């Protein structure tokens, strides 16, 4: 415990750590504030923006919150009508949360951009709408609450996790390499605990500081959104905040609250995996500079893998359409693409900063045998790959550092 406290203090007492953490939180606050400025609400030709718009949207939704029925839809249309005018650069019209929601999901209108939209003229029975049928398929009640805050939450969380990643790369990368650089490694043999205990203390301190920074950033994001947007909307169906249609993916066919818990757990896994990779790199480097540079390279390496995956999938699609390859070879290529996809998507950079990362993993990685990416097998395989990488890098770092301590 004494060594653990010492290692934890060495990582936390630096002014650069506190300054970096403050910079991460301020960046998240700035992004949150920019999203808040874009909020808009029009009621009886009176326009509200920013925080005032959020308050008005929450206020008018309070009357109709709960299970949405055709009667409630009629009352909303009678009271607020449908949005008017052409959409702006953010696909917003002169409406509020309620009538914009109805126009998009329960009317004969649509909005797909500034040049592709149709003003709503009438409401449709919920049973005939795509979202209503989706709820029936899922077995969930058509629940309506003000969910805009949770839609924006993922953007704030992604920015914060990007900052946390950079901070961890800078702080954790010196855990082992610093001893080699300043020449204090021989002193480990003079301590009562010895190098084995010191190695475990360093690893424990690195994971503790990483989990602590993640918890701070996650709680900060939750605090911001709950304070401004409230807690309403957690019972709505998760597909509403993903903007990817109504795919038959279990992740989308559940409540927003359950989905966001899974997103937070996936980001925690990404942070711990990043910490493990970073300490593994640190154990193989003899200077702090090389450790930071190499850790940064490994952090961004999946981008190259992603481009390789896209090339493989495009080539496979073209060759399959021409029927010039043996089916067995095409199947083998699909298995290879599946493995590459799981490896790329299990990387920390993808788990942490990509919006709707879990959905994209479940829908974008081609499943062997079918070529269909809409399969939970790819998600489970990706998460298991991330856990295996975490364990492997942690064990490798400990073994490497203990070995060089004996030299």
Least confident residue range of 28-32, 176-180, 359-363: 176-180
- Tell me the pairing of strands 117-118 and 110-111: antiparallel
> What CA–CA distance (Å, rounded) separates 239 from 242?
5
Residue 327 clears pLDDT 80, i.e. is over it: no
pLDDT digits 0-9 by tens, 86-109: 666 666 667 888 888 888 888 877
pLDDT at 370: 56
> What CA–CA distance (Å, rounded) separates 268 from 292?
21
Phi, psi of 249, rounded to the nearest 5 degrees: -110, 125
pLDDT at 246: 81
Q: Are 254 and 241 in contact (CB under 8 A)?
A: no
pLDDT at 56: 92
**pTM reported for the whole predicted model:** 0.85
Residue 366 clears pLDDT 80, i.e. is over it: no
Question: Two tokens at 402?
Answer: 């203990």
pLDDT at 212: 92
pLDDT at 261: 92
- Compute how many other C-beta atoms are within 10 angstroms of the C-beta atom of residue 341: 26
Q: What angle do CA 190, 196, 197 make, to 5 degrees?
A: 85
Nearest to 202 by CA among 406, 400, 407: 400
Question: Two tokens at 356?
Answer: 């709707």
Ranges of each domain in the chain: 2-32+150-405, 68-138
> What CA–CA distance (Å, rounded) separates 84 from 91?
12
Give the three-state DSSP class for 201.
helix
H-only helix segments in 145-255: 148-172, 177-182, 194-229
pLDDT digits 0-9 by tens, 338-358: 787 788 888 888 888 767 778
pLDDT at 116: 65
Instruction: Band the pLDDT of 403: cuts 50, 70, 90.
Output: low
């Amino acid at each position: 415990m004494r060594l653990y406290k010492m290692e934890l203090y060495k990582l936390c007492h630096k002014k650069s750590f506190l300054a970096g953490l403050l910079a991460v939180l301020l960046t998240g606050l700035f992004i949150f504030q920019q999203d808040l400025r874009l909020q808009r609400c029009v009621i009886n030709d009176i326009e509200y923006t920013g925080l005032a718009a959020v308050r008005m949207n929450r206020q008018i939704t309070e009357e109709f919150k709960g299970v949405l029925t055709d009667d409630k839809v009629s009352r909303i249309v009678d009271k607020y009508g449908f949005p008017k005018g052409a959409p702006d650069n953010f696909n917003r019209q002169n409406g509020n949360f309620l009538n914009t929601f109805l126009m998009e999901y329960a009317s004969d209108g649509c909005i797909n951009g500034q040049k592709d939209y149709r003003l709503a003229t009438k409401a449709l029975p919920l049973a005939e709408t795509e979202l209503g049928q989706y709820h029936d398929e899922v077995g969930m009640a058509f629940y309506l609450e003000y969910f805009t805050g949770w839609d924006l939450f993922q953007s704030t969380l992604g920015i914060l996790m990007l900052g946390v990643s950079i901070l961890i790369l800078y702080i954790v990368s010196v855990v082992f390499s610093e001893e080699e650089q300043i020449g204090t490694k021989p002193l480990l043999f003079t301590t009562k605990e010895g190098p084995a205990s010191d190695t475990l203390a360093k690893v424990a301190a690195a994971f503790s500081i990483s989990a602590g920074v993640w918890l701070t950033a996650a709680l900060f994001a939750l605090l911001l959104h709950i304070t401004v947007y409230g807690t309403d909307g957690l019972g709505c169906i998760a597909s509403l905040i993903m903007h990817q249609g109504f795919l038959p993916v279990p992740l989308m066919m559940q409540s927003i609250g359950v989905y966001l818990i899974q997103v937070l757990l996936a980001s925690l896994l990404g942070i711990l995996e990043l910490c493990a990779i970073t300490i593994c790199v640190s154990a193989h480097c003899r200077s702090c500079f090389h450790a930071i540079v190499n850790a940064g390279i490994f952090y961004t390496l999946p981008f190259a893998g992603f481009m390789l995956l896209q090339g493989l999938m495009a080539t496979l699609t073209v060759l399959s359409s021409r029927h010039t390859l043996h089916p067995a070879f095409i199947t083998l290529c699909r298995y290879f693409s599946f493995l590459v996809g799981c490896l790329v998507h299990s990387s920390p950079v993808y788990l942490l900063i990509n919006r709707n990362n879990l959905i994209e993993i479940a829908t974008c990685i081609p499943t062997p045998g079918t070529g269909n990416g809409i399969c939970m097998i790819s998600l489970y395989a990706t998460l298991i790959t991330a856990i295996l990488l975490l364990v492997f890098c942690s064990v490798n770092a400990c073994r490497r550092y203990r070995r060089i301590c004996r030299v």
